[in-house]
Structure 1
Amino acid sequence: MDGPHGLGVTTRAFGLKGPRGWAFREVSFDAEPGSLIAVEGPSGSGRTCLLLALTGRMRATTGSATVGEWHLPKQAAAVRRVSALAHVPGVTDLDPALTVGEHLRERALLERRFGGSLRALLRPRAERAAETEQRVDAALTAAGLDREALPKGSRTAVRDLERLEALRLSVALALIGGPRLLGVDDTDLKLSDAERAEVWALLRSLAEAGTTVVAVCSEAPEGAVTVSTSPREMETAETETRDAETGEAETAPAETGEAGTHEKEMVDALPATGRA
C-alpha cells in the first residue's frame, strides 16, 4: 500500500526492445513507498531508458510494472502526472544563460498554470503568489540549495554554478510540483567522492521524507534498492527466467500427452518506443 506521499514500485521481467536490440530487459524488483532505488550500470547499459520507463516517459515492450496503483505501460499518463525528472540530459537541461531565480520563477509559473486546479487559479493573486513562494522555498530547502550562498544569489547564472549546485537546482525544480516519484539521472557524473556522498545524502533525505526516488548511478550506495542494468546481470536474469519457464513447462501436466516445449543501450530508443 502507498504511504502518505511516495509510491511503491514493482516490476516483473520489464524490458524495452528497439530496432537495434535491447535497451534493458528482465528487470524485476520490489520497492516500498519512500524507497531509494538505485539503477546501477555502466553508461550505455539502458539505465536512463529504464528511468524514463519507470516514470512513464518511455513505453516498455515486455513484462510489467506497477507504480502505486497504476500499471505500465497502459497507464503511463497517470504516472507522469505524479512523477518528475531531474538532471536528465536532453530532457531537463538547464539554460546556462538564465539565472537561478529565472529558472525557479518559470517552473513555478508552469506548475501553477498546468499543475493546479482551476479553482486554485481563481484565488486572489496575492494568495497565489505567497503560496508559490512558499513552495519554491520548501523545494530549495529539500534540495539543499541556499540561494544566499551563491555568488550572486538568485541572480547567479546557471553557467556559473558548480556541478553539485546545478544538480541541486534541477532537483529543486522537480520538487516544486510535489512529485510522489522522483527520477534523477547521472547522479555521480564528474563528481568527486565527497560530492557523490552529498548527493546520496540528499536523495536519501528525500526518500526518508516520503518521496520515492529512482536514481541512475555507476555504483549504488548501501541501503538502496539496487537494480542493475549491466549486460552480464541482464543475461543472467534472462537465463534464470528462461530456465524457470522451461522447468514449469516440463513439470506441468500435458493435456495432449506430449511434453510442452515451449545488447547495449541503443541510440534511437526514444523514437522507436514513442517517448512521451
Structure 2
Amino acid sequence: MDSPHGAAVKAENFGLKGPRGWAFRGIGLDAAPGSLIAVEGPSGSGRTCLLLALTGRMKPSEGHAEIGRHRLPKKMAAVRRIAALGPVPGVNDLDQSLTVAEQLREGALLQRHYGAPIRSLLRPRAERRAAASARIEAALDAAGLDLATLPKAGRTTVRDLERLESVRLSVAIALLGSPRLLALDDLDLKLSDTERTEVWALLRSIAARGTTVLAVCSEAPADAVVLRTGPKADDGAPEEKPSQGAAGTPKITWGKGTKDDAEAGKDAGKDAGADADKKDKKDTKPDTDTEKDAGAADGTGDGDGSGTENDTDNDTDNDDTKGADDALAEAGRA
C-alpha cells in the first residue's frame, strides 16, 4: 500500500522498442513508497528511456509497470501527474538566460496553472502570493539551495550556477508540485566525488520525507534499490533473474537491453519526454493576472500548490499514449 505521499514502483518484464531496436527490456522492479531507486548502467544502455517510461513520458512496448495505483501503459497521463522530472538533459533543461528567481517564478506559475485545482484561483490574490512564496521556500529548503549563498542571490543567472547548484535548482522546481515520484537523469554527470556524496545525501533526505526517488547514475550507492541496465557480462554468459540478497543488501535487477540497441533508443526517449510534457500543457495558456500575481511574490512566483491527485483517471488509452507514439514516429523519420 502507498504511503500518504510516495508512490510504489513496480515493473514486470518491462521493455521499450524504438525505431532502431530495443532500448531496454526484461526489467523487473518492486520498490516500496519512499524508496531511493538507482538506475545504474553505462551511458547508452537505455537508462534515460527507462526513466521516461516509468514516469509516463514514453509508451512501453512490452510488459507493464505500476506507479502508485496507476498501471502503465494504460494510465500514462495519470502517472505524469504524480511523477515530476528533476534534471533530464535534453528534455527539461533550465533556461540559461533566466535568473534563478525567474526560473523559480516560471516553475511556480506552470505548477499553479497546470497542477493546482481550479478552486485555488478563487482565493484572494494576497493569499495566493503568500502560498506561492511559502511553497517556493519549502522547495528550496528541501533541495538544499540557499539563494543568499549565490553570487547575486536570486538575480544570479542560471548559466552562472555550478553544476551542483543547477541540480539543486532543478530539484527545487520539481518539488514545487509535491510529486509522489521524483526522477533525475545523469545524476553524477560532471560532479566531483564530494559533490556526488552531497547530491546522494540530498536524495536520501527527500526519500526520507516520503517521496519516492528514481535516479539514473553510473555508480549507485550501497543503500539504494539498484536497477541495472545493459548486458550483465561481456562473455555471453546468461543473465540472472532478479534476486534478493542477504539481509541489509539491496535488491539488484538486470535488464536485457544491449548497448547498441539502447543507444538507438536514447535520443528517441528524450524527444518523447519533451513531447509528452508539451502534450500535457499545450491546451492552456497562463492569463495576464496569473503572471502578475506570480511576479509579485517577492520575485519568486505565485500560485497555490495544494492540489491533490484524482485517483480516478478517465483518460483513454489513445489520449494517454499519443504523445509518446508521435515522438517515436518522428524520431524514426529523422
| TM-score bracket relative to the smaller structure | 0.7 to 0.9
Q: Does 1:4 align with 2:18?
A: no
Deviates more, 1:10-19 or 1:159-168: 10-19
Which amino acid is the alignment partner of residue 95 of structure 1?
A: D
Question: Are the aligned partners of 1:37 and 1:225 in contact in 2 as well (CA < 8 Å)?
Answer: yes
Q: Where in structure 2 are the equivalents of 1:1-276 lying within 5 Å? A: 1-232=1-232, 263-264=258-259, 265=262, 266-267=264-265, 268-270=267-269, 274=325, 275=327
Question: Are the aligned partners of 1:39 and 1:214 in contact in 2 as well (CA < 8 Å)?
Answer: yes
Cα 1:169–1:236 shift into 2, 3 Å = farther
Question: Are the aligned partners of 2:83 and 2:181 in contact in 1 as well (CA < 8 Å)?
Answer: yes
The equivalent residue for 2:307 is none
Cα deviation for residue 18 of structure 1 reads 1.7
**Distance in 1 of aligned mates of 2:46 and 2:8:** 22
**Distance in 2 of aligned mates of 1:109 and 1:141:** 19
TM-score, scaled relative to structure 1: 0.88
Deviates more, 1:164-173 or 1:13-22: 13-22
Cα deviation for residue 19 of structure 1 reads 2.5
Taking only the aligned residue pairs, the percentage that are identical comes to 63
Question: Are the aligned partners of 2:140 and 2:172 in contact in 1 as well (CA < 8 Å)?
Answer: yes
Match of 2:28, SS state, is strand
**Distance in 1 of aligned mates of 2:238 and 2:9:** 19
**Distance in 1 of aligned mates of 2:238 and 2:51:** 19
**Distance in 2 of aligned mates of 1:155 and 1:19:** 43
- Gap runs ≥5 in structure 1: 242-262
RMSD between aligned residues: 2.0
Which amino acid is the alignment partner of residue 86 of structure 2?
A: A
Cα deviation for residue 232 of structure 1 reads 2.4
**Distance in 2 of aligned mates of 1:206 and 1:51:** 18
Structure 1 moving runs of 4+ over 2 Å: 230-241, 267-276
**Distance in 1 of aligned mates of 2:135 and 2:186:** 26
Question: Are the aligned partners of 1:40 and 1:217 in contact in 2 as well (CA < 8 Å)?
Answer: yes
Which amino acid is the alignment partner of residue 176 of structure 2?
A: I
State the structure with more CA Rg. Answer: 1
Match of 1:220, SS state, is coil
Cα 1:12–1:112 shift into 2, 3 Å = same
Cα 1:40–1:46 shift into 2, 3 Å = same
**Distance in 1 of aligned mates of 2:134 and 2:237:** 48
Cα deviation for residue 112 of structure 1 reads 1.1
